[in-house]
C-alpha cells in the first residue's frame, strides 16, 4: 500500500538531486563574500528547512492520529520525525563544517540560529526513549502523538524567536529588500530545496513500506501460528 508510486518518486528524486548538484557547481556564481565555501549553503539550508518542516508534519499526523485513533497516522508521524532527526544530524554536521571554514570554529554558542536548531534536535532526540519507555502500544502511540504535537508547535515558535533575535551572522538572504539572493542563486537554492524535499518524501515512503511489510509479515505469522525467528511456536514445528 505504502510502496505505490515509490519507483517514479525515487526516479524524480535522483533527477532532482542531479539537477541540483549541476546547478550548484556549474551554474550558481561564486559568492562575493564567502567564495566557494558558500556552496555548502545549497545543502545545509534546504536540509534544515526540510527537517524543521518534517517535524511540523509529524505533529500534523499526530493530530490526525489523536482525532481518528487510526494507528496508520501514528506510523506516519513516527517516520516523519525519524527522518527529520536523520536530516537534523546532517544539518548539524554540515553546519559545523561551514562554521569551521567560515569562522574558524566548529561551533559558535552565541549564534541563535545554531543553538536553537540544536535545542530542537535534542528535544526530538528524546522522542525515542520517551516513546519506547511505554510498553502498551496504544498508550505509546497516544503519548508519542501528544509529544509530536507539542514539539511540532514549538518549532515555528522557535523559528520566529530566532528571526526576532536579529542576528548579524546569518543574514536574511530571502528578504526582498536590502539585497536578497540574486536570481541564479535563488533558482539553485529552490531546486536544491525541491531535491532535498523529494528525498525526504521518498525516504519516508520507503521506511513506511518496509514497516508495513514487516507488520504484515508479523500478522501473517501470528495467523498461521508460525514460529518466530529465534522463538518457538506453540503447535507448529520449527522451520529450518
Nearer to other proteins, 160 or 210 (CB): 210
- Who contacts 135 (Cβ-Cβ below 8 Å, separation ≥6)? none
- Supply the minimum distance, in Å, between the C-beta of residue 13 and other proteins: 11
**CB 31, CB 178: distance < 8 Å:** no
Considering the complex, state which of residue 33 and residue 136 has its C-beta at the smaller distance from other proteins. Answer: 33
Grid coordinates standing for 152?
511540532
What nine digits make up the cell of 102? Answer: 567560515
Residue with Cβ nearer other proteins (139 or 163): 163
CB of 67 to other proteins, least distance (A): 30
> What is the CB-side half-sphere exposure of residue 232 using CA atoms within 13 A?
3
**Cα(78)–Cα(208) distance, rounded to whole angstroms?**
10
Where do the H-state alpha helices sit in the chain? 6-26, 41-68, 71-103, 112-125, 127-132, 137-164, 183-224
Decide if 107 contacts 96 (C-beta within 8 A). Answer: yes
Shortest Cβ distance from residue 160 to other proteins (Å)? 21
CB of 41 to other proteins, least distance (A): 10
Rg (CA), the chain: 21
Q: How far is the CB of 206 from other proteins (least distance, A)?
A: 6
Q: How far apart are CA 206 and CA 201, in angstroms?
A: 8
Instruction: Compare residues 108 and 190 and give the one whose CB is closer to other proteins.
Output: 108
- The DSSP secondary-structure symbol of 228 reads P
Residues of the shown chain interacting with other proteins in the complex, contacts defined by CB under 8 A: 31, 33-37, 39-40, 43-44, 47, 86, 89-90, 93-94, 97-98, 100-105, 108, 110-111, 168-169, 199, 203, 206-207, 210, 213-214, 217, 220-221, 224, 226-227, 229, 236, 239
| 110 vs 136 by CB, closer to other proteins | 110
For residues 157 and 223, which CB has a smaller minimum distance to other proteins in the complex?
223
**CA dist., res. 60 & res. 44, Å (int):** 24
Report the nearest approach of other proteins to the CB of residue 142 (Å): 26
CB atoms within 10 A of CB 226: 15
Residue 189 Cβ, how far from other proteins at the closest point, in Å?
A: 15
Q: Which is nearer to other proteins, 100 or 137 (CB)?
A: 100
Amino acid at each position: 500500500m505504502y510502496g505505490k508510486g515509490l519507483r517514479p518518486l525515487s526516479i524524480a528524486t535522483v533527477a532532482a538531486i542531479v539537477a541540483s548538484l549541476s546547478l550548484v557547481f556549474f551554474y550558481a556564481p561564486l559568492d562575493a563574500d564567502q567564495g566557494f565555501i558558500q556552496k555548502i549553503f545549497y545543502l545545509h539550508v534546504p536540509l534544515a528547512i526540510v527537517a524543521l518542516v518534517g517535524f511540523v508534519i509529524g505533529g500534523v499526523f499526530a493530530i490526525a492520529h489523536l482525532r481518528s485513533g487510526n494507528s496508520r497516522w501514528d506510523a506516519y508521524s513516527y517516520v516523519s520525525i525519524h527522518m527529520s532527526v536523520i536530516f537534523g544530524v546532517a544539518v548539524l554536521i554540515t553546519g559545523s563544517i561551514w562554521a569551521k571554514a567560515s569562522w574558524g570554529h566548529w561551533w559558535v554558542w552565541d549564534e541563535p540560529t545554531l543553538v536553537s536548531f540544536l535545542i530542537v534536535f535534542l528535544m526530538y532526540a528524546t522522542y525515542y526513549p520517551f516513546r519506547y519507555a511505554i510498553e502498551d502500544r496504544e498508550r505509546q502511540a497516544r503519548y508519542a502523538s501528544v509529544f509530536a504535537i507539542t514539539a511540532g508547535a514549538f518549532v515555528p515558535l522557535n523559528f520566529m524567536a530566532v528571526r526576532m533575535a536579529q542576528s548579524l551572522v546569518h543574514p536574511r538572504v530571502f528578504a526582498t529588500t536590502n539585497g536578497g539572493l540574486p536570481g541564479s542563486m535563488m533558482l539553485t537554492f529552490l531546486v536544491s530545496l525541491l531535491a532535498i524535499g523529494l528525498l525526504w518524501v521518498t525516504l519516508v515512503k520507503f521506511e513506511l513500506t518496509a514497516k508495513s511489510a514487516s507488520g504484515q509479515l508479523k500478522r501473517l505469522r501470528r495467523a498461521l501460528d508460525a514460529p518466530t525467528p529465534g522463538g518457538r511456536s506453540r503447535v507448529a514445528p520449527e522451520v529450518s
